[in-house]
Amino acid sequence: MMPMITPSRALIGFLLALSLVPVFAAQFTVTLVNYIGLYALVALGLVLLTGIGGLTSFGQAAFVGLGAYATAYLTTRHGMSPWGTLIVGMAITTAVSLALGFITLRLSGHFLPLGTIAWGISLYFLFGNLEALGGHGGIDGIPPVDLFGLELGSSRGFFYVIWATLLAAIVTTQNMLDSREGRAMRCLRSMTMTEAMGINTLWYRMVLFMIAAQFACVSGWLYAHLQRFVNPTPFSLGHGIEYLFMAVLGGAAAVWGAVFGATAVTFLKEWLQDVLPKLLGVAGNFEMVVFGLLTILVLHRARDGLWPILMRFIPQREQVKTVEPALPLPRRDVLACGSEVLKVVKVTKRFGGLVANNSMSLSVRAGEVMALIGPNGAGKSTLFNCISGVNPPTTGEIRFMGQRIDALNSREIAKLGMSRTFQHVRLNQDMTVLENAAIGAHLRGRKNFVQSAWRLDREEERRLLWEAAHQLQRCGLGEHLFDAAGSLPLGKQRIVEIARALCSDPTLLLLDEPAAGLRHLEKKALAELLAKLRAEGMAILLVEHDMDFVMGLADRVVVMEFGEHLAEGLPQEIQTNPKVLEAYLGGVEA
């Protein structure tokens, strides 16, 4: 009987076969696998950048060139040791990537890829035109790397350096993605939500960009010492595009997709180069034509690349489905019940000619549920966006625990202790319910991406996940911790958003239509939860259409119509207020 393939067996088999390549394989194959390792390292950076961060870069080859030229120049012209030049190369790459990232990562849509093309071209021409770098002729005579006195001049010896580097990069990347930092990175596509959870999205884009650039730089350094000669050709825009192909064809959502993509593209091109001239009977670079067509086919048929397809043939490991108990996270001071938490004074919000909020005022106290009601389009969500800094007011004043916040951005406001949910659910549908909730606890962790890459964040990570599990349990989602958020019905997804908001330990909670899509018993449970939070001293501002829900729960109600303050009072008063009844067309229903 064939032994069953499992992920760990597949990995062990792969590593074993890999380690034997330099021992048994022909020189040609060793060289090819060396190059696969170098390509995969660059593609791994693109998995982070593109697959995780949603940023497309065509310019990675230029960073490979930075690493390669830094060591070529410094070892041959200044006699520096290769290990020294590696550090210098990485320092240069850090500086260049931060500078380029600072400019280009603020661009949106197609401007970002265009930006990467622009600097990809500039750096390429810089390499070719600088006399000190040997111009188009390049630099030769690059010394081999020596490791503990062992000179790694042969491509067989260097094989282990290349692949050990790649594997280390894969492991640290995987660690990083499976952490607080990684969760933030995986949510970068949903910028509004991520910022509202207190996460600095520009910073995380910069980090991803810098890591991808470092991987490319190290690949370039390895390349220079493998080849012992550099010229500008391998660092052109064309190669930058090829790296992107490798990542996307392999599967940009998984770190192993990079290795698979680099392998598939390299072997495929070699093979096509071999068979096409024979098949066609003429010599020429037809492999690029066929390669291009195949790429289109794969992207058409398998948008997520080839890796997920391969994984279908390997039974996946049972996910660990427990959350380890840990110490609770420190909490904010609770305000005395009745003290004013939020004060909105004459807030006006204009969208061009449309006045969505017109001189709106309201206040919310600690230990109070304040309901904001009004017909669709009245401007309730707009007011939420003003209060939470998602879309700041045009004029007016907003104070949160006495401090003016109308000029702060949503990230700064989240830090002060306000958290919110969205009328249109904003979850990462592919992440688990637990991971989604843990995003809300982001600000309660401190460990950075280097610490998570090296697993120095485990204690904190346990505490964050424990908090997320606890909040989800409170919200009645204890059975769904490990389900993909997208697999839940929409009503439950809204509750995940509430748990996520609670993970930040907020003083003020803003809920935009939390009961929409819930069944009767679920609404009842939600009302009980909110009543409990109120009893603990939390301030809650709530937009809701279900009048039974609102009237049964709220302490005070504010009614909006056409962006304006229509009425305010106790639930009973609102229910009998003639103005309100008229606004609701003769009945309290919506």
Footprint on this chain of ligand ADP (rule: CB under 6 A) = 351, 354, 356, 374, 376-382
Candidates 59-67, 316-324, 418-426, 496-504: pick the segment binding Mg ion (CB under 5 A): 418-426
- Please, how many CA atoms are within 13 Å of residue 494, restricted to the half-sphere of its CB? 19
* 587 to 380, 547, 574, 577, 582: CA distances (angstroms): 20, 11, 12, 11, 8
Residue 553 CB, nearest distance to Mg ion (Å)? 18
Smallest gap from residue 400 Cβ to ligand ADP (A): 20
By DSSP bridging, strand 556-561 and strand 403-404 are: unpaired
Which is nearer to ligand ADP, 377 or 489 (by Cβ)? 377
As measured in angstroms, the least distance from the Cβ of 399 to ligand ADP is 21
Contact between 571 and 557 (Cβ < 8 Å): yes
In Å, the largest CA–CA distance within the chain is 90
Q: Which is nearer to ligand ADP, 255 or 542 (CB)?
A: 542
Specify the residue, 439 or 542, whose C-beta has the smaller distance to Mg ion. Answer: 542
539-543 and 556-561: which strand pairing?
unpaired
Work out how close the CB of 271 gets to Mg ion at its nearest, in angstroms, rounded to a whole number. Answer: 56
State whether the Cα torsion 183-187-193-195 is positive or negative.
positive
- Residue 379's binding partner out of Mg ion, ligand ADP, none, with CB under 5 to 8 Å set by partner kind: ligand ADP
The whole-angstrom separation of Cα 195 and Cα 367 is 26
Comparing every residue's Cβ against Mg ion, the nearest one is 381
Bridge-based pairing of strands 556-561 and 564-569 is antiparallel
Binding mask 369-408 for Mg ion (x = CB under 5 A): -----------xx---------------------------
Judged by phi (left if over 0) then psi (alpha if -120 to 50, else beta), residue 79 lies in left
Report in angstroms how near the CB of residue 494 gets to Mg ion at its nearest.
13
From the CB of 377, what's the least distance to Mg ion, in Å? 8
Comparing CB distances to ligand ADP, the nearer of 232 and 379 is 379
Work out how close the CB of 510 gets to ligand ADP at its nearest, in angstroms, rounded to a whole number. 12
The residues near 291 (Cβ < 8 Å, ≥ 6 apart) are 265, 268, 269, 272
Backbone conformation region of residue 546, classed left if phi is above 0, alpha if psi is from -120 to 50, else beta: beta
Pairing state between β 229-230 and 139-140? antiparallel
Q: Is the Cβ of residue 245 or residue 384 nearer to Mg ion in the bound state?
A: 384
- 354's contact among Mg ion, ligand ADP, none, with CB below 5 to 8 A by partner kind, is ligand ADP
Nearest to ligand ADP of 397, 564 (CB atom)? 564
Alpha helices in 228-285 (DSSP H): 237-250, 255-280
Q: Which does 356 bind (CB under 5 to 8 A by kind): Mg ion, ligand ADP, none?
A: ligand ADP
Q: Based on CB atoms, which residue is closest to ligand ADP, 165 or 382?
A: 382
To the nearest whole angstrom, how small is the minimum distance from the Cβ of residue 71 to ligand ADP?
Answer: 50
Measured from the CB atom, is 43 or 378 closer to ligand ADP?
378
Residue 382 interacts, among ligand ADP, Mg ion, none and using kind-specific CB cut-offs from 5 to 8 Å, with ligand ADP
d(CA 562, CA 59): 49
Q: What angle do CA 496, 494, 367 make, to 5 degrees?
A: 80
Of 380 and 500, nearer to ligand ADP (C-beta) is: 380
SS3 322: coil
Among positions 295, 423, 448, 575, the unique one binding Mg ion when judged by CB under 5 A: 423
Q: Does the footprint of Mg ion cover residue 56 (CB under 5 A)?
A: no
CB of 382 to ligand ADP, least distance (A): 3
Q: Are 496 and 441 in contact (CB under 8 A)?
A: no
Which positions touch Mg ion (CB under 5 A)? 380-381, 423
